[in-house]
Amino acid sequence: DIQMTQSPSSLSASVGDRVTITCRASQGIRNDLDWYQQKPGKAPNRLIYAASSLQGGVPSRFSGSGSGTEFTLTISSLQPEDFATYYCLQHNSYPWTFGQGTKVEIK
Amino acid sequence: EVQLVESGGGLVQPGRSLRLSCTASGFTFGDYAITWVRQAPGKGLEWVGFIRSEAYGGTTEYVASVKGRFTISRDDSKNIAYLQMNSLKTEDTGVYYCTRRVGQNLDYWGQGTLVTVSS
């Protein structure tokens, strides 16, 4: 199985900060990676697909990059509504696997 | 409007069975694969498995931890997908989501149903 190592597990940031979250795959997965945002008590929402494509309706302050084994989600200017938990998901091979999640909290 | 609604969750004893349903509306259900994802309380997301559309054989894939105990099926005439869970363990406790799969992407999710495995 492909292991997804996500870091950091949590971070504290202020409104307006630039935030970067990383996912590392245990083997190459091309660009078969999505990023999801989850708020408490809610189902996840997809932000980025195919590593760098922005989901329709998602603000442009979110961006994704990477290929192979290293991937990054960047929030260019953190907004109050962005405080949530973020997950990467690889869909290169079965079983699909999520990263452990990154909780973004208010500093 | 695309909607997925899970049902069938509840409290069940270890070793017993439970069947979850995922009722879909707003799209041609039979054209899509359906994936199940779960989340233990206070923990991260775990992909459980999925069922392909009948056009792709209606076959299934599972994560190792549920293989042989869980079965995903579908009834396209009723727009429902099922997750049959047998020999339940305490570590199966969590919220179970069904999602629509488009290509390699999970684009719509239900609100989830809570399964609690406890004596």
SS percent in chain B: helix, strand, coil, step 5:
10, 55, 40
In the Cβ-directed half-sphere of B91, how many Cα atoms lie within 13 Å? Answer: 4
Query: In the 8-state DSSP scheme, what is residue B92?
Result: G
Report percent pLDDT > 90 for chain A.
Answer: 97
Query: Minimal Cα–Cα distance from A37 to chain B, Å?
Result: 11
Q: Please report where in the chains the tokens 């049902």 appear, as a residue.
A: B7
Mean pLDDT per block of 10 residues along chain B (119 residues) reads: 97 98 98 98 97 96 97 98 98 98 89 97
Q: What is the mean pLDDT of residues A25-45?
A: 96
**Nearest residue of A to residue B62 by CA position?**
A95
Which candidate in A2, A9, A21, A96 is best for mutational testing of the B interface (most B CBs within 10 A)? A96
Strand partners of residue B116:
B11
pLDDT attached to residue A68: 98
CB contact under 8 A, B44 and A49: no
Query: Minimal Cα–Cα distance from B104 to chain A, Å?
Result: 6
The per-residue pLDDT of chain A, averaged, comes to: 96
Q: What is the mean pLDDT of residues A40-67?
A: 95
In the Cβ-directed half-sphere of B13, how many Cα atoms lie within 13 Å? Answer: 3
CA distance A70 to A51: 10
CA distance B61 to B112: 20
In the Cβ-directed half-sphere of B84, how many Cα atoms lie within 13 Å? Answer: 8
Q: What is the mean pLDDT of residues A44-57?
A: 94
pLDDT attached to residue B103: 85
